[in-house]
Structure 1
Amino acid sequence: MTTAPLSRRDLDFLLYEWLDVTTLTGRKRFAEHSKETFDAVLDLSADMAVKHFAPHNKKADANEPHMLPDGSVEMIPEVAEALRVFGEAGLIAGQFDEALGGMQLPAVVARASLAWFQAANAGTSAYPFLTIGNANLLVAHGSQEQIDTYVRPMLEGRFFGTMCLSEPQAGSSLADITTRAVPRGDGTYRLTGTKMWISGGDHELTENIVHLVLAKVPGAPAGVKGISLFVVPKRLVNADGSTGERNDVTLVGLNHKMGNRGTTNTLLNFGDGTHTPGGEPGAVGYLVGEENKGLSYMFHMMNEARIGVGFVAISLGYAGYLQSVDYAATRTQGRAADDKDPTSAPVPINRHADVRRMLLAQKAYVEGALALGLYCAKLVDDQETAEGEAATRAGLLLDTLTPIVKSWPSQWCLEANSLAIQVHGGYGYTRDYDVEQFYRDNRLNPIHEGTHGIQGLDLLGRKVIMQGGAGLAVLAEAVGATIARAGSVGGPAAEYASQLGAVLDRVVATTGRLWGTGDPAVALANSSAYLEAFGHMVIAWMWLEQVLAADGRSGDFYEGKRAAARYFFRYELPKTGPQLDLLDSLDRTLLDVDPAWF
């Protein structure tokens, strides 16, 4: 990869000219930081991503991990080397407390840092991504002993972490998990069961793997109210912190994926008797928090992972966009529409209107999505470090936007990857260029951490109606404030503000109409259409914010921002009209269709 995987200029614009993240240094937690320290982290991340992650991206894709006869996993050595460099740089610990060896970076800066690695190599970057989420959960809900035993080695890069939720018969429906955890009377539990689709579930990259496993204890209530959470290490940890005997966690097989092949994805058995730690059957596990509260704890990692999945989608979309920009500037073919001379020289394809359409669409998708991702990351900082009502408001707004920041980039940055292939023409469909891999890698993101449909149900069925509609109200207030500012600026900004205001009013009215039926089945039947219309409204808001941040500034960068905003408001936001019409009609097509008709 010779093209940079991300745009540092765009990051600087979003972080400093728009979000003004240096103001966070006025808060106690970030008082030791400055723009200089933020820049140093971003510079280091960009350099490491290009030198250590990007070079083996295609090699890891072509040489996916495989299981050896002894049950271990073999993968190309460049993965371990890149992760060693990442861990030694302290980036796993970036946003954690200084007391744990962290830098206490704002979440928004840490997300921008990790995005470089996700854009350069989605497969390898998944290991620290999961480890950071695992450690954050244990810091929030684990005991001090669990933090000392597992979190500290993870932040040092000695252990990596996973999340073990799904089972072969229970993907999104966690109420149906069958993994069992039996207390032994000594503070430990013995777990038996099978977990499926576990990213990073086995490898030889680190001394140990810390599995966070959902299971049910004897006598637990039915459904999700009976789920508990356990730490189940691949290897038991001795009192002195060294790794001991192998726990009864067995790799059954590796899943062979369409993309994202550098990350092992596993089927794991817990307690199948392959190993018998202490001479007893079952995998040794340690309860996190209290019994039957495991799903609430796991949502700490799941919600963080949903934002992270959005960032993976953004990063891959952005990487493909930048490569197609470079390709379109150098690939010559055809002549200008008004040039009728067949002897004139062919022109770069970015001179053709339809190629410009595809480039502008990608720009609108990926830069709009990156703005949303960083905005949500800053809401994490505000939720944790702002005072009083501001923190509460940030938390409510973040909850409402989480389904959007996960799903919108997963859908539309994937579309950006598709357009990047199209810009490359036949070459884009070959493995000689990176864009076909970006598409395959990105295709996972609408699926995991809650499918597109699950996010629609979450948004319409929970988030916009929680606390009596407070979630939707706080978002409408935030969007309305931007609309008011844009209206006072005049010009295109005021035009966009009027258009966005009309869509916002319709979304609010449609939400009320859907829930006014008194029939949840009818209300939720078209929740995916609701998610998509809502998401387009949110991205239009992000673009209006960027237009305001660019107001009065000149140069190609800012003109590009204004062009992408114009594209989104002219070509994309009007798509919400038919979707909202469908929702307002209370259409029953999806309810009334008989499965026998398929």
Structure 2
Amino acid sequence: MQGLRGAFVFPGALRRLLDMGRGARVSIISTMTSPLRSTLDFLLHDWLQAESLTARERFADHSRETFDAVLDTCERIAREKYAPFNRTVDEQEPRFDGERVILPQCTHDARLAYAESGMLSAAQDYELGGMQLPYVVESAANAFFGVASISIGANLLTTGNANAILAHGTPMQQQVFAANEFNGRWTGTMCLSEPQAGSSLSDVATRAEADGADFADDPLGPRYRLTGNKMWISGGDHELAENIVHLVLAKIPGPDGKLVPGTRGISLFIVPKHLVDTDGRLTGERNDVALAGLNHKLGWRGTTNTLLNFGEGKYPVRGSAGAIGYLVGQPGEGLKCMFHMMNEARIAIGMAATMLGLAGYYASLDYARTRLQGRPMGAGGKDPTQPPVPLIEHADIKRMLLAQKSWCEGALALNLYCARLVDEGRTGEPQAAAEARLLLEVLTPIAKSWPSENCLEANSLAIQIHGGYGYTRDFPVEQYWRDNRLNMIHEGTHGIQAMDLLGRKVVMQDGAGLKLLARTIGAAIERARAHPELADWAGQLAQALQEVGEATQAAWATGDPQEALANAVPYMQAFGHVVLAWMWLDIACSVLQRDASLSSPASAGRMGAARYFFHYELPRIGAWLAVVRRRDMSCAAMADEMF
């Protein structure tokens, strides 16, 4: 396969995509539009006005037709190559035969279909072989794969890895490594955690030492030898592609040979599984990166997750100890470079959690409509002589379905809104672009954490609707819950996201991000007040927004971080509920503008979900913010022995 440059140069990429999409549409129309597709179309076009982006130079070659073709193609691939094998990859976990990792054939087929679609480079420049799609369209299209089988996960980190190299690597690194990830020849990983240092990157102990006197003259970048261990590496070893590009955090020792304490000495390195030349050809030399073991997880079982040893000597390379790695960016700036990828990964995890929640919602909705159970309550109670009714006729089943719908469709809206901010940050006018980037900074912890908590709860309700069948493997909802439980930990735990939000994001630049968010939500409130039906919700959101602002000030009133952050998670829960209420209020405005009489079931359903959120969910923020305001130390003050 050729390198990426020139592989899918416009207009060939879009012509090919349109042909694939038209073929897919015939099949999709014949089976009716899926509920996910209907939701995505509404959010993309009626709410976010994605087609307006085609007025910008970068997206001028696109239209609603090309956007639809992307969604058609991805929906077809997800339906044919992913969905039928979701249970297969859960049951046939990756295994190591001593030389290589064995995965079921369906995983190979799914990855190949995805790579051949061009979606790995969908948002990239034409000259990089991409299609210059808006990121919001790319995100919407990838949603189909998350619903179909998040566990296959064959493309999880490759695009983010390549984007980090594009942002911080040299032109040669971009051409050799990023390009061959975008075209599907190679895959990519993110290697941060170590067995003794999970989220505490200050304790990273992997070393990187200059490789000989000519280390700075290697055309692929300053060349180092890495020794150390990395843990929890998704896609860390497999046979899905001809090479794996590891992005590895390691410390360069000081003049005394010691590692610098803390994060200041951390640098970022490209460490390929197989060494390559400047034309992107494999040299035939295996780098000293060895699989030490596979992690067997609760969920996402179809995705290889590994412990890797760098430089242990299993694969000696070029007569010296250590795995060969190439410095990305400047020494000591590894976290800055890696967090380019981390932020993308966090939003991607939020989307993954959302799609698993939606998968469970769709499954439980179908079950509730077809499963006959119980009789309705009448004036005289239940009449046992009457036939049983579908589950969905019972009020509590409707409550659980509404909760799932409001959480999961609201989370999807949030993630697509964040993707739209990415497009604005890249292509908007200078002031609008700067504001979009700042707003995205504030929303990223919510985009990751809120779906990973609440869409997991949606999966729990999906099991509940199934009753005893829900926790058997005869139905898919137990797998959705297992898969989703990982997302509260993936790419920064819940507590870490909360400390990032309250400890950094809302106070940085003298609170500029929080003030911008308040203005943005305030504008949505004013739009909603133009609709009499939404006036009460608008007032409820305005009050909630004020309470969050007051709680933020109260948390930091003493300036003591220990007191301020003692209740960071309750703060984040309340903050996230306010953000989701904003999403639903703005969506309700779009629904009424499109269908004021709520004549379609879809419009009425969206308004019903918004109503549920304002009646049942937003009132919950009071208890969360109460402990934040008074800087309650009940948890933080507990001594070890008191447990």
- Given residue 374 of structure 2, which amino acid in structure 1 is its aligned partner? G
Matching residue of 2:503: 461
Tell me if structure 2 keeps the 8 A contact 1:3–1:323. Answer: no
- Given residue 172 of structure 1, which amino acid in structure 2 is its aligned partner? S
- Given residue 200 of structure 1, which amino acid in structure 2 is its aligned partner? G
Residue 280 (structure 1) shift: 1.1
Residue 463 (structure 1) shift: 0.3
Matching residue of 1:355: 397
Tell me if structure 1 keeps the 8 A contact 2:225–2:325. Answer: yes
- Given residue 252 of structure 2, which amino acid in structure 1 is its aligned partner? V
Alignment of 1:127-526 (within 5 A): 127-184=154-211, 185=213, 186=215, 187-219=222-254, 221-244=260-283, 245-338=285-378, 340-491=382-533, 493-526=534-567
Residue 5 (structure 1) shift: 7.9
Tell me if structure 2 keeps the 8 A contact 1:167–1:177. Answer: yes
Matching residue of 1:35: 64
Tell me if structure 1 keeps the 8 A contact 2:253–2:260. Answer: no
- Given residue 446 of structure 2, which amino acid in structure 1 is its aligned partner? I
Q: Distance in 1 between matches of 2:107 and 2:385?
A: 50
Query: Please, what TM-score do these two structures have when normalized by structure 2?
Result: 0.91
Q: Distance in 2 between matches of 1:3 and 1:414?
A: 28
Mark the runs of 5 or more structure 2 residues left unpaired by the alignment: 1-30, 216-221
Matched, 1:539 2:580: yes
Matching residue of 1:563: 608
Q: Distance in 1 between matches of 2:412 and 2:230?
A: 33
Encode CA deviations 1:322-372: one digit per residue, 9 max, x unaligned.
111111001001111116331211100000000000000000000100000
Q: Distance in 2 between matches of 1:140 and 1:260?
A: 29
Encode CA deviations 1:201-234: one digit per residue, 9 max, x unaligned.
0001100000000000011643111110000000
Matching residue of 2:590: 549
The 3 A distance-change label for structure 1 pair 589 and 130 is same
Encode CA deviations 1:231-273: one digit per residue, 9 max, x unaligned.
0000001344221210000000000000100000000000000
- Given residue 321 of structure 1, which amino acid in structure 2 is its aligned partner? Y
* Identity over aligned pairs, percent: 55
Moved more, 335-344 or 411-420: 335-344
Moved more, 519-528 or 552-561: 552-561
Q: Distance in 2 between matches of 1:236 and 1:462?
A: 40
- Given residue 550 of structure 1, which amino acid in structure 2 is its aligned partner? V
Tell me if structure 2 keeps the 8 A contact 1:138–1:146. Answer: yes
Matching residue of 2:90: 61
Q: Distance in 1 between matches of 2:528 and 2:402?
A: 23
Q: Distance in 2 between matches of 1:229 and 1:310?
A: 25
Q: Distance in 2 between matches of 1:173 and 1:342?
A: 61
Which of 70, 80, 104 is the equivalent residue of 1:51?
A: 80
Residue 4 (structure 1) shift: 8.9
Q: Distance in 1 between matches of 2:532 and 2:196?
A: 56
Q: Distance in 2 between matches of 1:572 and 1:63?
A: 39
Encode CA deviations 1:446-499: one digit per residue, 9 max, x unaligned.
0010100000000000000010000100100000001111112212x1110000
Which of 33, 38, 52 is the equivalent residue of 1:9?
A: 38
Q: Distance in 2 between matches of 1:503 and 1:325?
A: 31
Matching residue of 1:18: 47
Query: Please, what TM-score do these two structures have when normalized by structure 1?
Result: 0.98
Alignment of 1:114-129 (within 5 A): 114-124=142-152, 126-129=153-156
Q: Distance in 2 between matches of 1:3 and 1:150?
A: 41
Tell me if structure 2 keeps the 8 A contact 1:6–1:318. Answer: no
Tell me if structure 1 keeps the 8 A contact 2:356–2:484. Answer: yes
Which of 588, 591, 595 is the equivalent residue of 2:636?
A: 591
1:10 is paired with a residue whose SS is helix
Q: Which runs of 4+ in 1 moved over 3 A?
A: 2-6
Which of 78, 99, 119 is the equivalent residue of 1:91?
A: 119
Residue 56 (structure 1) shift: 1.0
The 3 A distance-change label for structure 1 pair 158 and 191 is same
Give the aligned CA root-mean-square deviation in angstroms.
1.3
Tell me if structure 2 keeps the 8 A contact 1:510–1:583. Answer: yes
- Given residue 401 of structure 1, which amino acid in structure 2 is its aligned partner? L
Residue 89 (structure 1) shift: 1.1
Residue 3 (structure 1) shift: 12
Encode CA deviations 1:161-218: one digit per residue, 9 max, x unaligned.
0000000011111011000000123231000000000000000110000000000001
Q: Distance in 2 between matches of 1:6 and 1:106?
A: 23
